[in-house]
Amino acid sequence: MPSFLFISLLLSFIHFSFSLPSIGVTYSTTTTTASPPPDKISATISTLKIPNVRLPEADPSLIKAFAFTNTSLFLSIPNPLLPAVAANRSLALRWLYRHVLPFYPRSKITLISVGNAVLDSVAEQDFTPYLLPAMRNLHLALHELGIKKIPVSTTFSFFSTITTAFPPSSAEFQQPAGDLIIKPLLQFLEETNSSFLINLYPYNLYRLNSEIPVGFALFQDYPFNFRDDLVTGVRYFNLFDMMADSVLTAMAVMGYESVPVIVAETGWPSGGGEAGEVEANEAYAEMYLKGLVRHLKSGVGTPLKKDGVAEVYVYELMDHEGGNNDNNKVKGRKWGILTENMTRKFNVEFSRGVKNYGLMGIFLFLIAIFYAFP
């Protein structure tokens, strides 16, 4: 009996070592300046030991450059293509023939997001009626091609989706989008074993709320650097967890707490932005990234979910001249972990947390075998 208990504990440790969240990065191109060659981007990602890359533009030459690298790729279909993909499955097949079929599985494509932050663009052009039909068509098209291991989802923005970040126990999805769009989508994600994708920026929430201490947003261990949810009694030591648990609570309210959550974008700008953004500096950006990576590799999850989020993607790989070109962000902010000329700004280790435990896990596994078969 004692040996059985010992073996169980060892196997639990080994499982833990292999279940830490993956930490990736977004690489977005710009239309204002020439982008580095795809092979250089792929080589840089490998040098930095970044296991996952999100490609919002899904350039075929870039996808090809990641062949045989073991880097997991998260592709996206741009919002303007949603009406066409929703209306005709053959157009979903056409997109797959251009962006997936020539490269998979040599290029390790693991996820496709149909659109990004569609609720943010409703005032300009409403893509929401096409969202779920486009996702279904792409899912069916993948299966038609015999590809059953690439899940399909879409990406939402925290601020256009969640009612409140504090207390997390009071969070819900904003209406009417919650019932009309997100609930049917969550059902689809559950049925297809996919994940809920969310863009989550503590920097933006900190900027909106003067009562939030900057140390709380930067994972700093200062005295009294915590916030209590008086409803659940849960104590929060960083803003990231508070926002993540708000998302998890909103999902639980709709009955889909078992759907995994992936943070598709997060980060802290190291410069630029609007006048008065003194918090957008390299010191704070490095503190945020180091704190985020340390927290994710600790394996503690979030206060409401032991497993926490499944994956996190830092925005973004490199700065662009004149700042980013994403319409959903303030012009001029520099989010990159590399400069425009691809030199490293921060000393942050993104490699999988499993490497901290892998050899130990193998060693303990051999001990478990020894005890099991004396």
Q: How many helices (H) and strands (E) does the chain have?
A: 13, 10
What pLDDT does residue 323 have?
56
What pLDDT does residue 322 have?
61
List the pLDDT tens digit at each of the 374 positions of the chain: 444 444 443 444 444 444 688 999 999 986 556 789 999 999 999 999 999 999 999 999 999 999 999 999 999 999 999 999 999 999 999 999 999 999 999 999 999 999 999 998 766 788 999 999 999 999 999 999 999 999 999 999 999 999 999 999 999 999 999 999 999 999 999 999 999 999 999 999 999 998 899 999 999 988 778 899 999 899 999 999 999 999 999 999 999 999 999 999 999 999 987 777 899 999 999 999 999 999 999 989 999 998 899 999 999 999 987 655 454 456 678 999 999 989 999 888 887 654 344 444 444 444 444 555 55
What pLDDT does residue 307 have?
87
Radius of gyration from C-alpha coordinates of the chain: 21
With tokens 């709709």, the residue in question is 254
What pLDDT does residue 121 have?
77
Which candidate, 185, 172, 175, 308, places its Cα nearest to that of 238? 308
Alpha-carbon dihedral 297, 300, 302, 307, rounded to 10 degrees: 90
Residue 127: Cβ-neighbour burial (10 angstroms; 0-12, 13-18, 19+): buried
What pLDDT does residue 365 have?
46
Q: What's the pTM value of the predicted model, to 2 decimals? A: 0.88
Total residue length of the chain: 374
The listed CATH number (1.20.20.10, 3.90.110.10, 1.10.357.140, 3.20.20.80) that belongs to domain 18-319+330-368: 3.20.20.80
What pLDDT does residue 33 have?
66
Q: Which residues contact 108 (CB under 8 A, 6 or more apart)?
A: 66, 69, 70, 71, 72, 73
Helix (H, G, I), strand (E, B) or coil at 334: strand
